[in-house]
Structure 1
């Protein structure tokens, strides 16, 4: 059973995109982290806009986002759907308080331009079923998933 947060104390945010290119841009106020998917040659995930001294919530969001992005690729392949090159996953993890207790909650935005909304939702749901981070938090924290796909972009 999850508990609703009354006061958000801080939020860790990540923006994750799959990348198949060498090198990742680096900025003065952020750290871009390159991660790879185990067992996949030449397939990396780039975490962008991470603060120079990230919080635990941001690191958790980053690890979850990288794992979930990989799971989206596996789920799409199983459904014989090509993910768009500009697909992205944004995860925000809040640390909050209710009474004297501390809790986490999360929001996930999955961006799949050019993919029909029902297909994108099915892929996102399947990815949650296989991503170890999604499974670990299921039923333990509030998680809201928002899909932005072709149908939503046209509106």
Structure 2
């Protein structure tokens, strides 16, 4: 099910050239990176999966803080690790995501409930829901 935006709050613009062996820049110049395929490990480069993991981790952290606050929990010190796997599927290439989250002083069982609520509000989670597997893991800090 596609949900149409009712109001645009922000538009990010990135320009790519040369694919996985090229560059990516944003229109404001804040991001200007050289790319290399993941297995190349070329110094001074990144890859699309790392950029996706960084964006997803940051977005999920914000969604968790918002949801937690609604439940009277301070999750501003949450630590979110996002791992993005690039692999093959039966027919093509695909991705899988693992989010491992800890909040200092918060029991993993209680955190697990907040993770599922955050997963429902995070725009990245909504974008990939039903398309790629996403595993949520609560950990003690």
**TM-score with structure 1 length normalisation?**
0.59
Report the equivalent of 1:53.
Answer: 45
Q: Secondary structure at the match of 2:45?
A: coil
Report the equivalent of 1:123.
Answer: 114
Distance 1:77 1:110 in 2: 16
Distance 2:55 2:136 in 1: 17
Shift of 1:133: 0.3
Distance 2:118 2:92 in 1: 31
Shift of 1:52: 4.0
Shift of 1:139: 1.2
Give CA-to-partner distance per residue, 1:84-142, whole Å, 9 cap, x none: 63x20000111111345111111110012311222211111111110010011111101
Higher strand share: 1
Query: Which protein is bigger by CA-based radius of gyration?
Result: 2
Displacement over 2 Å in runs of 4+: none
Report the equivalent of 2:81.
Answer: 90
Report the equivalent of 2:132.
Answer: 141
Report the equivalent of 2:103.
Answer: 112
Question: What is the Cα-based RMSD across aligned positions, in Å?
Answer: 1.7
Report the equivalent of 1:81.
Answer: 73
Distance 2:85 2:110 in 1: 28
Q: Any conservation in 1 of the 2:65–2:76 contact (CA below 8 Å)?
A: no
Distance 1:89 1:123 in 2: 13
User: How many residues are aligned here?
Assistant: 99
Gaps of 5+ in 2: 1-42
Shift of 1:83: 2.2
